């Protein structure tokens, strides 16, 4: 295509609301424009990239045996009431009523709708396993939409759902989707990690996230450089650290006005790692009266709320007791709490539970205990992994110390079990005519977020550097038509025709602009292969070839240029 016929509104300035490279460059390069908070219009260049990613996703899903459908964005409340999620989904779900006062939501995800479809159309084992997906708009009223396409409110997701008669069939599909997501991300030329993840509100089973590694990522991934172990912080197992301090007698010491671990450890001249923190949370109970529980971590460790929320007996999501609730239950303020004599259920992090002769609040303001030992002073305590892992902690597979990297979650696969098929009364007949409740998997892939993730990994100070597999065009002919050189125009047009005829996707910059503007725009837009046609070169029949990633620049004769380019763009390896 010719630039003169394409809407590519490039900008020199950084948009005021853009903080990360992908947001800045996609707006400046004329790929997207903001409509309102968290909602973007795809301009011609951006849409081409989006469609290329969709095409790769479709190809790989077809290979993995998934079938494409297209389900509505507007969903009736009744289905969400059947699954029980109408009341549990938070304000992220946008709800509204129609002219008949019937309630609806905009699809944040599609479990209910696909399960309803399945129960209407599939009744027999003959149709199982069944793996359906669509690529459709999602709306989530995110509390903090930001980073452009990365955390939008309206975004494009590929979401897939599979139904199975038994675990073996499900496990095979889950493994196939795991491989499929890896294949997609490899084709996009991305540096990524598949990580063990917390399924959150989606289910109780296994789940894996696919993260594109980038400093601007919102998530932290703990991984072992020595193996393929990787997990997000909600899931990464923290080791129990040993403590060999000698057993000392317990003493009570005055700590006037000291409410924090920092205050107490400074006062006692002991490191924070000799103290424990006691946090009071709401327990899960059938009774009317609110029940509380105590969670204990080492003074220099942090509680991991997702891990704590997974414990039996703890309310999910985790909520902390108010100061008043703590006063009423313990008789002391939050900075003076400890396990000694505490009449609440106590769960200690495994490292805290292995400590000897530690410091804790005395459940009396202005007093702490020192030399506390679990068995002797508290009694046996329930130990669980409830702390955040730290870099340097031994990886759960024992392969070596953990490192941390930031990641952008682009995909998430879950084991749903029968959560939806049971609550929505789905059954199919197995081979022997028995009614079976199928089990489900669900597989999300953020198509629009991936556009941003690619730019986060593939850019330099001048602009985007698209991998050839998803570039809006593979080749950019920059015609330096200054002073209306008809020779340049003719040569560039001829090359454009030749390449187009050879099946190469070419953008011809035929605008009446200065060379500096054209080069700056070409760098910004980031098309991987560039041919510059200028008057000076043409005098000796030469054009200039350059790869946007800087890996190659050379002069080519006008005659050989088309053949050279055709070979270059079809080389399998991405820059």
Residue closer to ligand ATP, measured from CB, 132 or 362: 132
Distance CA 217, CA 516 (A): 33
Q: For the CB of residue 154, give the shortest distance to ligand ATP in the complex, in Å.
A: 8
* 395 counts as binding ligand ATP under rule CB under 6 A: no
Q: For the CB of residue 416, give the shortest distance to ligand ATP in the complex, in Å.
A: 12
Residue closer to ligand ATP, measured from CB, 409 or 510: 409
Q: Which of 148, 371, 444, 526 binds ligand ATP (CB under 6 A)?
A: 444
Pairing status of strand 103-106 against strand 74-76: antiparallel
If one counts every other C-beta atom within 10 angstroms of the C-beta of residue 9, the result is: 12
Residue closer to ligand ATP, measured from CB, 334 or 444: 444
Distance CA 176, CA 61 (A): 9
* 409 counts as binding ligand ATP under rule CB under 6 A: yes
Distance CA 57, CA 329 (A): 55
b/e per residue 53-74 (b: at least 16 CB within 10 A)? bbebbbebbeebebeeeebebe
Pairing status of strand 463-464 against strand 459-460: antiparallel
Q: For the CB of residue 459, give the shortest distance to ligand ATP in the complex, in Å.
A: 19
Q: Which of 411, 463, 528, 537 binds ligand ATP (CB under 6 A)?
A: 411
* 48 counts as binding ligand ATP under rule CB under 6 A: no
Distance CA 574, CA 377 (A): 63
Q: Which of 410, 504, 558, 565 binds ligand ATP (CB under 6 A)?
A: 410
Q: Which of 301, 449, 518, 530 binds ligand ATP (CB under 6 A)?
A: 449
b/e per residue 256-279 (b: at least 16 CB within 10 A)? eebeebeebbeebeeebbbbbbbb
Q: Which of 82, 142, 206, 366 binds ligand ATP (CB under 6 A)?
A: 142
Residue closer to ligand ATP, measured from CB, 255 or 448: 448
Q: For the CB of residue 336, give the shortest distance to ligand ATP in the complex, in Å.
A: 36
Distance CA 477, CA 417 (A): 53
Distance CA 205, CA 267 (A): 46
* 282 counts as binding ligand ATP under rule CB under 6 A: no
Give the number of residues in contact with ligand ATP, rule: CB under 6 A: 15
Give residues 67-126 in contact with ligand ATP (rule: CB under 6 A).
109
Pairing status of strand 346-349 against strand 358-361: unpaired
Query: Are 483 and 451 a contacting pair, CB within 8 Å?
Result: no
Question: At 208, which helix (H) or strand (E)?
Answer: strand 207-213
Torsion over CA: 157, 163, 166, 169 (sign): negative
Q: For the CB of residue 374, give the shortest distance to ligand ATP in the complex, in Å.
A: 37
Question: Dihedral (C-alpha) 50, 51, 52, 54: value to the nearest 10 degrees?
Answer: 90
* 160 counts as binding ligand ATP under rule CB under 6 A: no
* 155 counts as binding ligand ATP under rule CB under 6 A: yes
Q: For the CB of residue 570, give the shortest distance to ligand ATP in the complex, in Å.
A: 30
* 152 counts as binding ligand ATP under rule CB under 6 A: yes
* 460 counts as binding ligand ATP under rule CB under 6 A: no
Q: For the CB of residue 197, give the shortest distance to ligand ATP in the complex, in Å.
A: 8
Query: Chain-centre distance of CA 367, in angstroms?
Result: 44
For 376-426, give the secondary structure using H, E and C.
HHHCCCEEECCECCCCCCECCCCCCECEEEEEEEEEEEEEEECHHHHHCCC
Q: For the CB of residue 469, give the shortest distance to ligand ATP in the complex, in Å.
A: 19
Q: Which of 28, 48, 85, 140 binds ligand ATP (CB under 6 A)?
A: 140
Q: Which of 157, 165, 346, 348 binds ligand ATP (CB under 6 A)?
A: 157
> Which among 407-415, 497-505, 508-516, 519-527 is the span making contact with ligand ATP, rule CB under 6 A?
407-415
Q: For the CB of residue 412, give the shortest distance to ligand ATP in the complex, in Å.
A: 3
Return residues touching ligand ATP (CB under 6 A).
109, 140, 142, 151-152, 155, 157, 409-412, 444, 446, 448-449
């Amino acid at each position: 295509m010719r630039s003169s016929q394409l809407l590519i509104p490039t900008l020199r300035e950084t948009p005021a609301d853009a903080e990360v490279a992908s947001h800045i460059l996609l707006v400046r390069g004329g790929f997207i424009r903001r409509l309102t908070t968290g909602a973007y219009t795809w301009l011609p260049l951006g849409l081409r990239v989006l469609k290329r990613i969709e095409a790769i996703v479709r190809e790989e899903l077809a290979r993995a045996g998934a079938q494409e459908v297209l389900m509505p964005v507007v969903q009736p409340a009744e289905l969400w009431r059947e699954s029980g999620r109408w009341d549990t989904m938070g304000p992220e779900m946008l709800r509204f009523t129609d002219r008949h006062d019937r309630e609806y939501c905009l699809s944040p995800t599609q479990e209910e709708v696909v399960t309803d479809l399945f129960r209407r159309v599939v009744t027999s084992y003959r149709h199982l396993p069944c793996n359906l997906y669509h690529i459709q708009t999602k709306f989530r009223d995110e509390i903090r939409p930001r980073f452009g396409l990365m955390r939008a409110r309206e975004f494009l997701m590929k979401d897939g759902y599979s139904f199975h008669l038994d675990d073996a069939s499900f496990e095979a599909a889950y493994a196939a989707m795991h491989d499929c997501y890896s294949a997609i991300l490899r084709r996009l030329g991305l540096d990524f990690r598949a990580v063990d993840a917390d399924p959150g509100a989606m289910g109780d089973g296994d789940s894996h996230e696919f993260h594109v590694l980038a400093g601007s990522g919102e998530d932290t991934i703990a991984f072992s450089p020595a193996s393929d172990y990787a997990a997000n912080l909600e899931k990464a197992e923290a080791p129990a650290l040993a403590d060999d301090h000698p057993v000392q007698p317990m003493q009570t010491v005055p700590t006037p006005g000291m409410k924090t671990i920092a205050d107490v450890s400074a006062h006692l001249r002991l490191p924070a790692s000799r103290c424990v923190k006691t946090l009071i949370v709401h327990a899960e109970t059938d009774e009317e009266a609110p029940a509380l529980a105590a969670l204990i971590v080492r003074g220099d460790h942090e509680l991991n709320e997702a891990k704590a929320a997974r414990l039996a007996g703890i309310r999910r999501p985790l909520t902390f007791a108010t100061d008043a609730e703590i006063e009423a239950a313990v008789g002391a303020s939050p900075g003076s709490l400890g396990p000694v004599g505490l009449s609440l259920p106590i769960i200690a992090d495994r490292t805290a539970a292995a400590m000897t002769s530690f410091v804790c609040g005395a459940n009396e303001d202005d007093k702490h205990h020192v030399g506390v030992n679990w068995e002797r002073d508290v009694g046996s305590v329930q130990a669980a992994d409830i702390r955040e892992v730290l870099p340097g902690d031994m990886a759960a597979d024992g392969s070596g110390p953990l490192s941390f990297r930031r990641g952008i979650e682009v995909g998430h696969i879950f084991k749903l079990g029968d959560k939806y098929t049971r609550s929505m009364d789905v059954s199919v007949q197995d081979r022997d005519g028995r009614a079976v409740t199928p089990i489900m998997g669900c597989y999300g892939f953020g198509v629009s977020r991936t556009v941003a993730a690619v730019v986060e990994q593939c850019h330099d100070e001048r602009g985007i550097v698209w991998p050839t597999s998803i570039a809006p065009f593979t080749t950019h002919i920059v015609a330096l038509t200054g002073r209306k050189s008809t020779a340049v125009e003719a040569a560039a047009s001829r090359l454009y025709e030749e390449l187009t005829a050879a099946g190469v996707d070419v953008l011809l910059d035929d605008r009446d602009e200065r060379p500096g503007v054209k080069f700056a725009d070409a760098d910004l837009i980031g098309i991987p292969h560039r041919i510059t046609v200028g008057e000076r070169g043409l005098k000796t029949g030469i054009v200039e070839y350059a790869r946007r990633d800087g890996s190659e620049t050379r002069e080519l004769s006008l005659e050989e240029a088309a053949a050279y380019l055709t070979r270059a763009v079809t080389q399998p390896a991405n820059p």
